[in-house]
Amino acid sequence: MKRRDFITLLGGAAAWPFLALGQSERMRHIGVLSSIAEDDPEAKARVGVFEESLRKLGWTSGRNIRIDYRWAAGDAARLKPYAAELVGSAPDVIFAIATTSLAALARETRTVPIVFVQVADPVGGGFVATLARPGGNITGFTQHEFAVGVKWLELLKEIAPRIVRVATIYDSAQPNGPAFLSVIEAGAPSFGVQVSGLPVRDTHEIERGINAFANDPNGGLIVLASALTVARRELIVSLAARSRLPSVYPFRFFATAGGLASYGVDNIDLYRQAASYVDRILKGEKPGELPVQHATKFELVINLKTAKALGLDPPITLLARTDEVIE
C-alpha cells in the first residue's frame, strides 16, 4: 500500500467515530406549558432567558432541539387540553410554568419527565414525595414559600402605617391561594390589621371586589401571584390607584407597571436554573433524583412616584434595603 493511500485510510478511520456521532445525534423535543400569554412582555423575557440558557448548554432550537409552546393566557380551562396535547406528542421533557400548569400535566402523565418553576408547595400539592428526592417524573424550582405572606403584610404596614384593613386578592382557581391567605391572617394581629380574602375568577370579579373593598377607609391590598392576576396586572394597578389603596405585589413587573411595592422571587433567575435541569434530563439524568430547589434570589421594589401620589412617605430605613426604587 502506498504511503499516501495509507494516510488517507488512517485519516478516514480516525474521523469515522466523530462523523457517526454527528449523524446519530437526534432532534430532542421539549414541551412548554405556560399559564400566561405569549405576547406578555414578562413571558417573552422569561422564555428568552430559558432558551438562551439552553443555547449556552449546547441546545439550539432547530438544530438539536424542537420546542413546542402552549400558552393558556390566564384561562385555566385551556390547560387540560394543552397538557394532553403536549404529553401526546411524546416529548423528551416538559417545562411546566406555575402550579396550575403542573397540575394539568401531572394528571396526564406519570412517565414523561417534567421540570417546573413557580410552584409554592410541590410536596403539599402531591407532585413530589420529598424535596430532596422527588422520586417520580417531576422536579423543579419552587417560588414563594407561604411564610412570605407575612413579609408582604409587614411591607404594606411599613409603607402605609394607617392601614387597618387588608384584602388579599387571589385567583379562586389557584390551589395555593387559601394557604397564603391563612398565613397572612395568622400574622394580622401582630400588625393591628384585619385581613379578608378576595377570591376572583375574572375581570368583572376583580373590578367588583376592589371597588367594594375601597368603600371603607384605611384599606390596603395584597395581590397573590397567579396567571389571572399577572394577566390583569394593569387593571389591578389602575384600580388600586383610582381607589387610593396602597398595595403590595409578588413580582417586580407589578411595581414597574405602577404598583406601589413588590417583594418576590427573581423569576428570570428561576428560568435560567430550570434550563440546567432540562439539560441534565436530556443528557440522561432522572427527574426523581434531581432535588427540588428553593428560589434564592428575591427583589424588593418600591415605586416612589406611586407612593407620592398616594400621599405616602416610605421610611428611609425601608428605602435603604430596597433593591430598586422607581422614581
Both 154 and 232 in one domain: the answer is yes
Both 276 and 308 in one domain: the answer is no
- Go through 250-287 and write b for each residue having 16 or more CB atoms within 10 A of its CB, e for each that does not: bbbbbbbbbbbbbbbbbbbbbbbbbbbbbbbbbeeeeb
Both 132 and 178 in one domain: the answer is no
Both 253 and 291 in one domain: the answer is no
- The residue-averaged pLDDT of 7-20 equals 41
In a domain, residue 3? The reply is no
In a domain, residue 220? The reply is yes
Does the pLDDT of residue 12 top 60, yes or no?
no
- For 312, the grid coordinates are 405616602
Does the pLDDT of residue 316 top 50, yes or no?
yes
pLDDT at 10: 42
In a domain, residue 95? The reply is yes
Q: What is the share, in percent, of the chain residues with pLDDT greater than 90?
A: 85
**CATH number (domain holding residue 232):** 3.40.50.2300
pLDDT at 20: 37
Three-state SS string over 120-156 comes to: CCCCCCCCCCCCCCCCCCEEEEECCCCCHHHHHHHHH
Both 179 and 216 in one domain: the answer is yes
Both 123 and 171 in one domain: the answer is no
- The residue-averaged pLDDT of 48-72 equals 96
Both 156 and 226 in one domain: the answer is yes
Residues 31 and 109: their CA atoms lie apart, in Å, by: 13
In a domain, residue 129? The reply is yes
In a domain, residue 6? The reply is no
- The residue-averaged pLDDT of 268-297 equals 95
Higher pLDDT, 45 or 20: 45
The string of pLDDT tens digits covering residues 150-178 is 999 999 999 999 999 999 999 998 888 99
Both 322 and 215 in one domain: the answer is yes
In a domain, residue 251? The reply is yes
Environment class of 306 (CB within 10 Å of its CB; exposed 0-12, middle 13-18, buried 19+): buried
pLDDT at 9: 41
pLDDT at 8: 43
Beta strands per DSSP E along the chain: 28-34, 65-71, 93-97, 114-119, 138-142, 165-171, 194-200, 219-223, 247-249, 261-265, 298-303, 324-326
Dihedral pair phi/psi, residue 213, rounded to 5°: -65, -35
Both 270 and 184 in one domain: the answer is no
pLDDT at 13: 42
Both 255 and 284 in one domain: the answer is no
Does the pLDDT of residue 71 top 90, yes or no?
yes
In a domain, residue 70? The reply is yes
Both 135 and 154 in one domain: the answer is no
The string of pLDDT tens digits covering residues 179-195 is 999 999 999 999 999 99
Residues 158 and 111: their CA atoms lie apart, in Å, by: 47
Both 127 and 98 in one domain: the answer is yes
Q: What is the pTM of this model?
A: 0.85
Domain count, the chain: 2
Host domain of residue 124: 26-144+266-296
Contact 280, 256 (CB under 8 A): no
In a domain, residue 122? The reply is yes
pLDDT at 296: 87
Does the pLDDT of residue 4 top 60, yes or no?
no
